[in-house]
């Protein structure tokens, strides 16, 4: 039974030799350059600029940008590999680098050639940073509920509003900003009338309103952005007027694969650390791993880990193939991998006992970090709605939940 797909080949995952070469390179960099700085990052809630510069020099910010715009021309699988390997050391750095993808993807998919040539090469070279500004205090998963407005003024647009929970908004030079450009006419079509705009940091009336402190992902900051009569030319409109909701959904669908891979990296390192500790630690004159409850935890960890890895790279493979079904797989991967990593973090703390909640062992921070991955790019409750909706579309050919 292969429902809701047509055949076994739909579940196939293929890696290329360059994928393994890239994985080894990222792994080596993470262990050599990032791992020794983790305590410093956690204590100061800041990624040192010299480390950021090294990552930019490696081209990590341009992994998914095509070579004609100065990037590495990597695919979705390569992005997932980057997220997994770096998250094993620092999930926050995945978010720090990944925030750029939420700008790059919509520009690549829906931007004009002029926009691509202007904005993508500086990002690929590491000269500029970028971020995505959709969420608001009153509208997170409910994208259609945003209150930021854009009014047509001459040959441009005047934007007013406030954005919240914006990852990397404090360091970004370029932003994609979602605003309402026409009023809601009826509740069923409230998603209509939204439009994206590219806004540059130095634009008059645009500024960081405040930094928002969070429980985990230390070193990756979130901020509120204020837009007061921000004027941009129509050439900065991204995609067709009124199509912003569709652009946001397509962007988040891709982004969920990266979040799932980020959680996968956490689950992987938690398993490795737990296995190693359980073989070294002795209780009641026996290795910890010889106790039945502990080996059950470890067995369940590895089952969830392998399952999560299959979902992550399957969804990435479907996305690289241009298959519409990747959206279904991405939501499966995001919800499952983040919850698997949360479970692994809880059980790792149980295996470590008192040492598991001591900061210096670097176990408890993964629990703090993974809780955030369950929320952004669409909370897991939303993912379950997406999963069943996509399932019905795949099996029946219609979106019955929108009828």
Write out the catalytic residue numbers: 377
What are the b/e assignments for 301-311, b being 16+ CB within 10 Å? bbebbeebbeb
Q: Return all residues near 172 (Cβ < 8 A) that are at least 6 apart.
A: 99, 103, 129, 130, 131, 201
CA-CA distances (angstroms) from residue 23 to 20, 56, 271, 361, 392?
Answer: 5, 17, 19, 26, 36
Nearest-5° angle of CA 386, CA 163, CA 237? 80
d(CA 325, CA 328): 5
Query: What residues have CB less than 8 Å from 188, skipping those under 6 apart?
Result: 402
Alpha-carbon 174 to chain mean position: 18
The span from the CA of 23 to the CA of 305, in Å, is: 18
Let me know if 391 is exposed, middle or buried by CB neighbors in 10 A (0-12, 13-18, 19+): middle
259-271: string of b/e by CB count within 10 Å (b at 16+)? Answer: bbbbbbbbbbbbb
CA distance 163 to 131: 12
Q: Token pair for residue 136?
A: 């608001």
Tokens at 292, concatenated: 């039945």
Closest CA to 309 of 354, 349, 341, 279: 341
Distance CA 220, CA 90 (A): 10
Exposed e or buried b per residue across 319-344, where buried means at least 16 C-beta atoms within 10 angstroms of its C-beta: bbeeeebbbbbbbbbbbbbbbbbbbb
- What are the respective helix, strand and coil percentages of the chain, to the nearest 5? 60, 15, 25
């Amino acid at each position: 039974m292969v429902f809701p797909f047509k055949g076994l080949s739909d579940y196939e995952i293929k890696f290329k030799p360059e994928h393994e070469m890239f994985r080894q390179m990222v792994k080596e960099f993470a262990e050599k350059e990032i791992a020794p700085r983790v305590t410093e990052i956690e204590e100061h809630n800041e990624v040192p600029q010299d480390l950021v510069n090294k990552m930019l020099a490696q081209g990590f910010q341009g992994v998914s940008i095509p070579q004609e715009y100065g990037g590495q021309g990597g695919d979705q699988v390569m992005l997932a590999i980057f997220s997994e390997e770096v998250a094993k050391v620092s999930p926050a750095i995945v978010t720090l680098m990944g925030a750029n993808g939420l700008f790059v993807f919509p520009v690549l998919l829906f931007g004009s050639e002029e926009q691509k040539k202007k904005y993508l090469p500086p990002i690929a070279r590491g000269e500029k940073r970028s971020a995505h500004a959709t969420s608001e205090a009153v509208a997170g998963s409910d994208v259609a509920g945003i209150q930021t407005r854009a009014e047509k003024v001459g040959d441009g647009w005047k934007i007013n509003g406030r954005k919240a929970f914006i990852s990397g908004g404090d360091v970004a030079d370029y932003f994609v900003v979602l605003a309402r450009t026409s009023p809601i006419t009826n509740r069923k079509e409230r998603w209509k009338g939204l439009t994206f705009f590219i806004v540059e940091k130095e634009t008059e009336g645009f500024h960081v309103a405040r930094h928002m402190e969070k429980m985990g992902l230390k070193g990756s900051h979130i901020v509120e952005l204020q837009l007061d009569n921000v004027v941009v030319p129509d050439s900065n409109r991204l995609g067709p007027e009124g199509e912003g909701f569709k652009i946001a959904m397509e962007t988040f669908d891709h982004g969920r694969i990266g979040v799932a891979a980020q959680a996968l990296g956490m689950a992987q390192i938690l398993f490795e650390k737990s296995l190693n500790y359980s073989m070294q630690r002795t209780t009641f004159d026996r290795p910890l791993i010889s106790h039945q409850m502990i080996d059950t935890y470890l067995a369940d960890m590895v089952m969830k880990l392998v399952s999560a890895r299959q979902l992550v790279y399957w969804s990435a493979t479907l996305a690289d193939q241009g298959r519409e079904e990747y959206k279904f797989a991405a939501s499966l991967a995001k919800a499952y991998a983040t919850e698997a990593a949360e479970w692994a973090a809880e059980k790792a703390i149980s295996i470590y006992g008192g040492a598991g909640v001591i900061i210096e062992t670097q176990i408890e921070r993964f629990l703090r970090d993974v809780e955030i991955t369950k929320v952004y790019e669409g909370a897991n409750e939303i993912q379950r709605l997406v999963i069943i909706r996509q399932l019905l579309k795949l099996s029946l050919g219609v979106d019955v939940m929108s009828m």
